[in-house]
Amino acid sequence: MSKNLVLYFSVYGTAKAVAEEIAKQTGADIQEIMPVLSYDSNRANYNSLAAFAKKEHDEDMRPAIKDKINIENYDNIFIGYPMWWYTFPMIIYTLFDKYDFSGKTIIPFNTHMGSGDGGTYKTIAKLEPNAKVLKGLPVEMSAAERGSEKTVSKWLESLEII
């Protein structure tokens, strides 16, 4: 039996909600990707967060990850994130720079406000050529906030994970 891990990065809690649903349905372990310097999670300050995220993107920054992540003991690794500036947050690049996913199965998921996956699933496949990347799950932000039980279940069944 394959051992599953759900890794996720979330500032406003939407990617976290989807991650928790995936972990619940698969029995996977779950770990948040925490930055050393936290982001402002107050939605009233969205414009500041968006400007900072754009600066990180434009300067090709690699925000440091706070805690060590153990991927060695896992076969299937779900990786979740919100979409920022039509791609994943720069801390996800840090994750792929720092950890070797060779021989692993990566199963991406993301939350968005209309951009789908923005091509990030293909980017993951390019960044991790020695990993198998399965069909990802883009979840619109408001749908993630309402609950994603059925959407996640249907997706997992299509992947034959559960």
Name the burial class of residue 81, with classes exposed (0-12), middle (13-18) and buried (19+) by CB atoms within 10 angstroms of its CB: buried
What CATH number does the domain containing 56 carry?
A: 3.40.50.360
The number of beta carbons lying within 10 Å of the beta carbon of residue 19 is 28
pTM attached to this predicted model: 0.94
The number of beta carbons lying within 10 Å of the beta carbon of residue 31 is 17
pLDDT tens across 56-71, in order?
Answer: 999 999 999 999 999 9
pLDDT tens across 72-108, in order?
Answer: 999 999 999 999 988 999 999 999 999 999 999 999 9
- Pair 155, 138: CB distance under 8 Å: no
Q: How many CA atoms lie within 13 A of 92 on its CB side?
A: 26
Per the structure, the complete domain to which residue 12 belongs is given by 4-159
**Tokens of residue 152, six digits:** 């996640």
Query: Count of domains in the chain?
Result: 1
Report the pLDDT value the prediction gives residue 85, as an integer from 0 to 100. Answer: 82
